[in-house]
Amino acid sequence: MIPKDLIFNELVFKAVRSSGSGGQNVNKVSTKVELRFDVEHSEFLTGDEKARIFKKLKNRISNEGILIITSDKERTQLRNKNKAVELFFDLLEQALKKPKKRKKTKPTRASKEKRLKEKKVQSEKKQLRKGEL
């Protein structure tokens, strides 16, 4: 499991001016929040976890190995910061989740018979069409 309180200390926040809702306020206040996390130099992630994050979140990671998340949906900087942190931990959790191993199964006798019956019906349908020229 991810040590959230420790990783939180590695997050860097930057507030910038935002487009979107806010009216005239948008021109005066920096409400958009940019969250940056240096995946490559994180002390609390193992090499395997870092590789998994790079693979799953490659579209959000810069060339320098920094994961960037922005939030500008809310009208206040604090709410945008909370949204960005929430999204960050959700993405991290999804990226680190190991996929289930697929169990091999064989088709049942009934499913084989059903498939063959459907093929037979289709074949007969096409045979009937041939004679209708």
- Domain 4-96 listed as CATH 3.30.160.20: yes
> Do residues 44 and 54 lie in contact, with contact meaning Cβ atoms separated by under 8 Å?
no
Residue 3 pLDDT more than 80? Answer: no
The predicted pLDDT at position 2 comes to: 67
SS3 123: helix
The predicted pLDDT at position 17 comes to: 81
The predicted pLDDT at position 22 comes to: 60
Average pLDDT for residues 29-49, to the nearest whole number? 88
Least confident of 6-10, 98-102, 117-121: 6-10
Average pLDDT for residues 33-41, to the nearest whole number? 91
The predicted pLDDT at position 86 comes to: 93
Distances (CA, A) of 57 to 15, 38, 53, 95: 23, 13, 6, 7
Span 81-103, pLDDT tens digits:
999 999 999 999 999 898 899 99
The predicted pLDDT at position 45 comes to: 86
User: Where along the chain do its domains lie?
Assistant: 4-96
Could you tell me the pTM of the whole model? 0.69
The predicted pLDDT at position 79 comes to: 92
Average pLDDT for residues 113-123, to the nearest whole number? 97
> Do residues 68 and 90 lie in contact, with contact meaning Cβ atoms separated by under 8 Å?
no
